[in-house]
């Protein structure tokens, strides 16, 4: 990785916004933060600690979109794909866990033209974390706290603070697209030793994460399939099928489609679905392998932490340790609660 010195992230943001639409996390009235566009020349400070409750997955895997149109002409019925037209844009300040989730989704949607049309036009500017976020456990699943190699085009690396003051930033460049985007900024190369300080920051950050023994034990027992059905049934009772977990989860990718009638044919619409909903796996015959709520909870967590599934996804779990499900779940069965229950069953 080529690394430069950067006085302030806002200088980079302003440079990038000359030719691209830039989005960054902004605190909003909900108190959860959200991804919002930042105009060129904006003086708004970049909040390097804010991580919105909703991940940026919607930028690529749209919550609701049309996929194709079917025109039922008597002579020439036609299918026309509806590919989104996206201007060049930047996601500025994406945390390591969300970047790992984007890399996971890239693989899952590798041949999806709508996802790829959005992904191709988006430059990812990641940022290293120097402290755990609420409920986060990214080191346990190798998703953070520093940006993992190859998951961002550019990486904002905080320099160590001097007397409590941030001394400045380094800017890591990880891709041709990143190099091209900063060409002309005339940034100076970082002095030797930046990687020592980065590793030290990561070591300190990792040391401040809560103990993850229960989580690891839970994952181990889940893979050993050593969990009694009664426990899944009990956890199932706590699930309200609200789909909050799957909406906030950056690596969840389930969707459903519906064909909507138009005056001349149909439009196929795709929208986010949730495997915690009763009808998710219902078959045309009426059979439903996950009618019982406990089966759905079991299936969800198996998909997150199965070694078999991870081996098909470059050895990455379907969970990037963001902790959002723990924060969101009204039934108190987010990741920590479930893994702890499994570990102690
Ligand atoms: S957030 Fe909790 S209650 Fe809602 S669907 Fe997910 S597991 Fe069930
Ligand atoms: S399962 Fe929970 S902790 Fe894991 S990535 Fe999804 S929301 Fe984050």
Looking at residue 160, its pLDDT comes to 84
Question: Is 95 near ligand 2, meaning CB less than 6 Å away?
Answer: no
Looking at residue 166, its pLDDT comes to 74
Distance from C-alpha of 132 to C-alpha of 145, rounded to nearest angstrom = 8
Question: Is 335 near ligand 1, meaning CB less than 6 Å away?
Answer: no
Distance from C-alpha of 34 to C-alpha of 249, rounded to nearest angstrom = 15
In a shared domain, residues 9 and 130: yes
* Mean pLDDT on 118-132: 97
Distance from C-alpha of 112 to C-alpha of 53, rounded to nearest angstrom = 26
Supply the residue whose CA is at minimum distance from atom 5 of ligand 2. Answer: 319
In a shared domain, residues 234 and 193: no
Looking at residue 165, its pLDDT comes to 74
Other C-beta atoms within 10 Å of 345: how many? Answer: 14
Test site for ligand 2: of 143, 317, 323, most ligand atoms within 8 A of the Cβ: 323
Mean pLDDT lowest among 42-46, 115-119, 253-257: 42-46
Looking at residue 285, its pLDDT comes to 96
Looking at residue 249, its pLDDT comes to 98
Q: Which bound ligand lies closest to the C-alpha atom of 331?
A: 1
From the CA of 328, give the closest atom in ligand 2: 7
Distance from C-alpha of 33 to C-alpha of 140, rounded to nearest angstrom = 25
From the CA of 97, give the closest atom in ligand 2: 5
Q: Strands 21-26 and 89-95: what pairing?
A: parallel
Start-to-end C-alpha separation, the chain: 45
Beta bridge partners of 169: 6, 158
Looking at residue 292, its pLDDT comes to 96
In a shared domain, residues 201 and 232: no
Residue 232 has pLDDT above 90, yes or no: yes
In a shared domain, residues 135 and 30: yes
In a shared domain, residues 303 and 181: no
Other C-beta atoms within 10 Å of 217: how many? Answer: 15
| Domain boundaries, position 301 | 213-344
Looking at residue 87, its pLDDT comes to 97
Distance from C-alpha of 169 to C-alpha of 46, rounded to nearest angstrom = 13
| Burial (0-12, 13-18, 19+ Cβ within 10 Å), 344 | exposed
* Mean pLDDT on 21-43: 95
For residue 6 the two structure tokens come to 């950067």
Distance from C-alpha of 39 to C-alpha of 21, rounded to nearest angstrom = 8
Supply the residue whose CA is at minimum distance from atom 1 of ligand 2. Answer: 319
- Residue pointed to by tokens 């566009």: 37
Question: Is 249 near ligand 2, meaning CB less than 6 Å away?
Answer: yes
* Mean pLDDT on 107-124: 98
Looking at residue 104, its pLDDT comes to 97
Average pLDDT, the chain: 95
Domain boundary among 149, 175, 209: 209
Question: Is 90 near ligand 2, meaning CB less than 6 Å away?
Answer: no
Between the CA of 78 and the centroid of ligand 1 the distance, in Å, is 41
Domain boundary among 209, 227, 256: 209
Question: Is 322 near ligand 2, meaning CB less than 6 Å away?
Answer: yes
Report residue 203: phi and psi, to 5°. Answer: -60, -45
In the chain, pLDDT over 70 holds for what percent of residues? 100
Distance from C-alpha of 87 to C-alpha of 92, rounded to nearest angstrom = 16
Question: Is 324 near ligand 2, meaning CB less than 6 Å away?
Answer: yes
Q: Which bound ligand lies closest to the C-alpha atom of 297?
A: 1
pLDDT in tens, 72-109: 877 888 999 999 999 999 999 999 999 999 999 999 99
Domain boundary among 183, 209, 235: 209
Q: How many domains does the chain have?
A: 2
In a shared domain, residues 14 and 108: yes
Distance from C-alpha of 246 to C-alpha of 31, rounded to nearest angstrom = 20
Residue 186 has pLDDT above 80, yes or no: yes
Question: Is 321 near ligand 1, meaning CB less than 6 Å away?
Answer: no
Looking at residue 167, its pLDDT comes to 79
Between the CA of 243 and the centroid of ligand 1 the distance, in Å, is 5
Residue 40 has pLDDT above 90, yes or no: yes
CA 278 to the chain's CA centroid: 25
In a shared domain, residues 196 and 81: yes
pLDDT in tens, 248-283: 999 999 999 999 999 999 999 999 999 999 999 999
In a shared domain, residues 303 and 330: yes
In our burial notation (b when 16+ CB lie closer than 10 A, e otherwise), range 33-71 reads: bebeebeeeeeeebebebbbbbbbbebbbbeebebbbee
Residues found in the chain:
345
* Mean pLDDT on 15-35: 95
- Name the residue among 119, 127, 123 with its Cα closest to residue 172: 127
Looking at residue 121, its pLDDT comes to 98
For residue 52 the two structure tokens come to 């919105």
Looking at residue 161, its pLDDT comes to 77
Enumerate the H helices of 176-239 as residue ranges.
176-182, 194-207, 213-223, 229-238
Looking at residue 163, its pLDDT comes to 73
From the CA of 321, give the closest atom in ligand 2: 3
Looking at residue 46, its pLDDT comes to 94
In a shared domain, residues 218 and 281: yes
Q: Collapsing DSSP states into helix, strand and coil, what is residue 92? A: strand
Confidence class for position 36, pLDDT limits 50, 70, 90: very high
Looking at residue 133, its pLDDT comes to 93
> H or E element: which one contains 143?
none
Peptide bond into 145 cis (omega under 30): yes
In a shared domain, residues 199 and 247: no
Question: Is 101 near ligand 1, meaning CB less than 6 Å away?
Answer: no
In a shared domain, residues 178 and 226: no
Question: Is 102 near ligand 2, meaning CB less than 6 Å away?
Answer: no
Between the CA of 327 and the centroid of ligand 2 the distance, in Å, is 10
In a shared domain, residues 330 and 255: yes
Question: Is 249 near ligand 1, meaning CB less than 6 Å away?
Answer: no
């Amino acid at each position: 990785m080529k690394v430069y010195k950067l006085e302030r992230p806002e200088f980079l943001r302003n440079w990038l916004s000359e030719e691209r639409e830039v989005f960054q996390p902004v605190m909003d009235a909900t108190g959860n933060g959200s991804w919002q566009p930042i105009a060129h020349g904006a003086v708004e400070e970049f909040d390097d600690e804010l991580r919105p409750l909703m991940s940026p997955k919607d930028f690529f895997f749209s919550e609701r979109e049309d996929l194709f149109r079917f025109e039922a002409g008597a002579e020439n019925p036609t299918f026309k794909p509806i590919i989104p037209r996206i201007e060049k844009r930047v996601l500025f300040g994406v945390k390591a866990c969300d970047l790992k989730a984007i890399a996971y989704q890239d693989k899952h949607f590798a041949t999806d033209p709508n996802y790829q049309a959005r992904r191709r036009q988006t430059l990812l500017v990641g940022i290293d974390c120097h402290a755990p976020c609420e409920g986060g456990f990214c080191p346990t699943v190798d998703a953070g706290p520093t940006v993992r190699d190859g998951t961002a085009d550019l990486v904002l690396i905080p320099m160590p603070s001097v007397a409590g003051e941030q001394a400045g930033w380094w800017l890591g460049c990880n891709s041709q697209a990143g190099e091209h985007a900063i060409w002309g900024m005339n940034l100076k190369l970082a002095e030797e030793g930046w990687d020592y300080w980065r590793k030290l920051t990561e070591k300190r950050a990792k040391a401040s994460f809560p103990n993850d023994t229960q989580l690891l034990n839970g994952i181990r027992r889940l893979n050993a399939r050593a969990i009694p059905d009664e426990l899944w049934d009990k956890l199932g009772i706590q699930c309200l099928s609200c789909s909050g977990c799957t909406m906030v989860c950056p690596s969840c990718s389930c969707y459903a489609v519906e064909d909507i009638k138009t005056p001349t044919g149909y439009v196929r619409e795709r929208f986010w679905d949730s495997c915690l909903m009763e009808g998710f796996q219902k078959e045309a015959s009426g059979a439903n392998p996950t009618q019982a709520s406990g089966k759905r909870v079991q299936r969800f967590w198996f998909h997150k932490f199965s070694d078999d599934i991870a081996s098909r996804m470059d050895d990455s779990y379907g969970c990037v340790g963001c902790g959002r499900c723990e924060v969101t779940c009204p039934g108190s069965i987010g990741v920590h609660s479930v893994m702890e229950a499994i570990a102690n069953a």
